[in-house]
């Protein structure tokens, strides 16, 4: 894919040397809203959702896309996806709470937590949320909660660890022998047998092998293993699954020279084996589910920043911006690459190599290492791309820097969907004991 097309798929283009995003001049956005600021393009989210929905529905009608809320839990994004007909995957009470506040109905939510507390179970059961258990030991406690609340046990699901994982970084691989998630093949029969005995009537099954998978072939082994486990459960326990969920993990091209995930390969290595299992076995009443987070929202958002300081330490050039790892932690935490481009394109002048650094008091606060850019100046603006997934949600007020605002562009309208935190927000939750007042 050439560079202009790569930018275009993310809603970006240069017009008269100014970077436009979702049809808006980034320089005008900065003038109105300041920096740093997360800017989201509603249409990209809708396009990504539709492309996946179309793919799934072409091969198998009974499908649900559960958006992984952990990627970005802004109310407006949830409402956009809800309006497209998405379902949702939540990992905490907080995410469920936000979904319900966004008007999402409880039957569209699956609760894939881990290390669940009794309070988590109580919250889920009270709100009629389907729980996807992460350990056989949790079943007993969940049953107690159902009984205590006098609620009918309906559907239960377990997360399987198929022992093969993948991901863009070892922290994002979520299946394998030293991984905390899910239950292993040999525990699965026991888990579903116990669930049946406990009075659950309907069953689902789930796996999620990791995050940021750009080569669909990486899914092949885990899918094969998972399918063999599903078959074994059907044969041994005569279980009628209501749904089979094969998780998220679909990657996006963060680098200009990276090809996007090949959706026809995803269809071949991931979707088709399940479809074959279900159609061969005469089980076409079973729903297949996937749980993408990043694929749906990462490319919908850019982070606009301003350069405050250009500095040469004698060895290296630094461009110091007003966003640091408090604003976007992925480069520091996973060594992740986020493409960084000027809002104001300079065609003349020399190219230099910069480390793009934030204002956090740590040397590790580098958002872009050794980036070659035309000479930068203080007060220039830079856009950090693909920040819609695991961007704002992983930000923090570290160094007592309030979190930034978020805005949404839909066609020609611009909305503030979260205002920037203020200095007061930094102390609002704190209490000072009497003797220190």
Give the strand pairing for 18-21 and 12-15.
antiparallel
**Any contact of residue 330 with ligand LLP (CB under 6 A)?**
yes
288 binds ligand LLP (CB under 6 A): no
Applying CB under 6 A, does 223 fall inside the site for ligand LLP?
A: no
Tell whether residue 131 is a contact of ligand LLP (CB under 6 A): no
Tokens of residue 428, six digits:
């609002």
Closer Cβ to ligand LLP, 212 or 368, answer by number: 212
Catalytic residue, chosen from 90, 99, 343, 361, is 361
Phi, psi angles (nearest 5°) of residue 202: -125, 155
| Rounded Cα–Cα distance for residues 317 and 370 (Å) | 9
Classify residue 15 by burial, with Cβ atoms within 10 Å: 0-12, 13-18, 19+. exposed
Among 293, 320, 324, 331, binds ligand LLP (CB under 6 A): 293
Q: Which is nearer to ligand LLP, 71 or 195 (CB)?
A: 71
Dihedral over alpha carbons 335, 69, 127, 98 (to 10 degrees): 100
Does residue 99 carry a catalytic annotation?
no
Least distance (Å) from ligand LLP to the CB of residue 132?
Answer: 8
Stretch that binds ligand LLP, among 74-82, 233-241, 286-294, 405-413 (CB under 6 A): 286-294
In the complex, minimum distance from the CB of residue 170 to ligand LLP, in angstroms, rounded to a whole number: 11
Residue 35 in the binding site for ligand LLP (CB under 6 A): no
Nearer to ligand LLP by Cβ, of 212 and 324: the residue is 212
- Least spacing, CB of residue 233 vs ligand LLP, in Å: 19
**DSSP letters for 151-172:** PPP-EEEEEB--S----SSGGG
For position 112 contacting ligand LLP by CB under 6 A, the verdict is yes
Contact flag: residue 226 with ligand LLP (CB under 6 A):
no
Of 383-402, binders to ligand LLP (CB under 6 A) are 389-390
Q: Left, alpha or beta for 281 (phi > 0: left; psi -120 to 50: alpha)? A: alpha
- We find the least distance from the C-beta atom of residue 238 to ligand LLP, in angstroms, to be 27
Any idea which residue has 């979190």 for tokens?
Answer: 403
What is the total count of residues that contact ligand LLP (CB under 6 A)? Answer: 23
The residues, any chain, with a CB within 8 Å of residue 166's CB and separated by 6 or more, are 173, 209, 210, 213, 218, 219, 222, 249
Specify burial of residue 317 (Cβ count, 10 A radius: 0-12, 13-18, 19+): middle
CA separation for the pair 143, 123 (Å, rounded): 14
Is residue 242 involved in binding ligand LLP (CB under 6 A)? no
- Interface with ligand LLP includes 266 (CB under 6 A)? no
Q: Which residues contact 164 (CB under 8 A, 6 or more apart)?
A: 175, 176, 209, 221, 222, 225
Q: Is 338 in the site for ligand LLP (CB under 6 A)?
A: no
| Closer residue to ligand LLP, CB minimum distance, 35 or 112 | 112
Question: Whole-number minimum distance, CB 291 to ligand LLP, in Å?
Answer: 4
Site residues, ligand LLP (CB under 6 A): 68, 70-71, 89, 112, 172, 174, 208, 211-212, 247-250, 291-295, 330, 334, 389-390
So which residues are the catalytic ones? 361
């Amino acid at each position: 894919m050439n560079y202009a097309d790569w930018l275009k798929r993310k809603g970006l283009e240069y017009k008269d040397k100014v970077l436009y995003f979702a049809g808006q001049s980034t320089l005008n956005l900065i003038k109105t809203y300041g920096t740093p600021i997360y800017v989201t393009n509603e249409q990209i989210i809708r396009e990504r959702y539709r492309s996946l929905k179309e793919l799934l529905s072409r091969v198998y009608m009974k499908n649900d896309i559960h958006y992984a809320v952990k990627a970005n839990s802004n109310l407006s994004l949830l409402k956009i996806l809800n309006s497209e007909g998405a379902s949702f995957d939540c990992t905490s009470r907080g995410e469920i709470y936000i979904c319900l506040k966004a008007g999402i109905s409880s039957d569209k939510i699956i609760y894939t937590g881990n290390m669940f507390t009794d309070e988590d179970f109580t919250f889920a059961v009270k709100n009629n949320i389907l729980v996807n258990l992460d350990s056989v030991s949790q079943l007993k406690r969940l049953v107690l909660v159902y009984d205590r609340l006098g609620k009918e046990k309906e559907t239960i699901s377990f997360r399987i660890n198929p022992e093969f994982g993948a991901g863009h970084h070892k922290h994002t691989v979520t299946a394998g022998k030293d991984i905390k998630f899910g239950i292993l093949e040999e525990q699965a029969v026991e888990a579903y047998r116990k669930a049946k005995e406990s009075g659950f009537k309907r069953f689902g099954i789930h796996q999620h092998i990791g995050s940021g998978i750009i080569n669909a072939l990486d899914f092949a082994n885990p899918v094969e293993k998972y399918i063999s486990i599903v078959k074994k459960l059907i044969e041994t326990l005569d279980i009628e699954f209501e749904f089979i969920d094969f998780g998220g993990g679909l990657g996006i091209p963060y680098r200009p020279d990276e090809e996007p995930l090949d959706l026809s390969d995803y269809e071949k290595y991931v979707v088709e084996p399940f479809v074959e299992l279900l159609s061969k076995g005469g089980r076409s009443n079973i729903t297949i589910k996937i749980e993408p987070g990043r694929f749906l929202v990462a490319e919908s958002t850019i982070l606009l920043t301003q350069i405050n300081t250009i500095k040469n330490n004698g060895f290296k050039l630094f461009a110091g911006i007003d966003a640091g790892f408090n604003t976007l932690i992925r480069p520091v935490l996973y060594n992740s690459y986020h493409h960084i481009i000027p809002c104001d394109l300079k065609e003349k002048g020399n190219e230099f190599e910069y480390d793009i650094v934030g204002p956090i008091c740590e040397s590790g606060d580098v958002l872009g290492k050794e980036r070659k850019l035309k000479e930068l100046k203080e007060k220039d603006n830079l856009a950090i791309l693909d920040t819609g997934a695991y961007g704002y949600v992983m930000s923090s007020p570290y160094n007592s820097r309030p979190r930034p605002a978020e805005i949404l562009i839909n066609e020609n309208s611009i909305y503030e969907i979260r205002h920037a935190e203020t200095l007061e927000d930094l102390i609002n939750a704190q209490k000072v004991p009497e003797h220190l007042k």
